[in-house]
């Protein structure tokens, strides 16, 4: 579930869209890039915190996606367009971290089963208004903001978030759990 509604529908089944893209129509490819570039760039920026590196990752993700189309049997793809496309930016971020970041060292003190974050899946009903929710998200520590937005707005899995941020999946789960708890407390205070 996305955190806030968006102007684009990212859960569209990909078979028809990818078939059109595979035909090579430049206008359709440009429209596809335009529709998804902000989301791809936001994930890349969350991974790198650098504008130029994020631009490079964004370009690499789209190039890899379009190259993958050449051999893809589009009619057999039965997932949403965003789920198909997001894998390419996650892979680009993982490659970037492999080159420019230190290896992930799991934190032995992080046990997701101890705080409940391993089993928790959270839904947000925004009755309280977007501004309050944004204010509460803005009050979180940076790593919690990133994991919360990557999970609930960009709909990435825990493993994808871990790859994007170059962190252990257990740390991602713990940060997400803590972020959810803090947002619930913040919304309760008004």
What is the Cα Rg of the chain in Å?
A: 18
pLDDT per residue over 129-183, tens digit each?
677 778 888 999 999 999 999 998 899 999 999 999 999 999 999 999 999 889 8
Q: According to the model, what pLDDT value does residue 183 have?
A: 86
Higher pLDDT, 132 or 120: 132
What structural domains and CATH numbers belong to the chain? 14-100 (1.10.1740.10), 112-189 (1.10.10.10)
Cα–Cα distance for residue pair 103/134, rounded to 1 Å: 32
H-assigned helices in 25-157: 26-48, 51-69, 81-100, 112-115, 130-138, 142-152
Cα–Cα distance for residue pair 64/169, rounded to 1 Å: 25
Cα–Cα distance for residue pair 71/123, rounded to 1 Å: 37
- Whole-model pTM: value is 0.75
pLDDT per residue over 64-104, tens digit each?
999 998 888 887 888 888 989 999 999 999 999 999 988 87
Among left, alpha and beta (phi > 0; psi -120 to 50; other), residue 140 is beta
Is the pLDDT at 40 greater than 90, yes or no? yes
Q: According to the model, what pLDDT value does residue 1 have?
A: 37
Q: According to the model, what pLDDT value does residue 133 have?
A: 79
């Amino acid at each position: 579930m996305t955190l806030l509604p968006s102007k684009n529908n990212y859960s569209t089944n990909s078979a028809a869209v990818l078939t059109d893209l595979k035909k090579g129509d430049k206008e359709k490819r440009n429209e596809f890039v335009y529709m998804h570039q902000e989301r791809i760039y936001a994930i890349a920026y969350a991974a790198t915190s650098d504008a130029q590196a994020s631009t490079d990752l964004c370009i690499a993700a789209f190039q890899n996606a379009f190259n993958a189309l050449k051999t893809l049997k589009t009619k057999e793809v039965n997932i949403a367009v965003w789920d198909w496309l997001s894998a390419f930016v996650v892979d680009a971020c993982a490659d970037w971290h492999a080159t420019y970041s230190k290896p992930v060292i799991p934190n032995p003190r992080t046990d997701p089963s101890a705080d409940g974050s391993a089993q928790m899946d959270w839904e947000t009903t925004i009755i309280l208004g977007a501004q309050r929710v944004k204010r509460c998200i803005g009050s979180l520590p940076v790593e919690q903001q990133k994991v919360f937005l990557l999970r609930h707005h960009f709909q990435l899995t825990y493993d994808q978030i871990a790859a994007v941020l170059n962190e252990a999946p257990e740390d991602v789960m713990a940060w997400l759990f803590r972020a959810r708890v803090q947002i619930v407390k913040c919304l309760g205070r008004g």
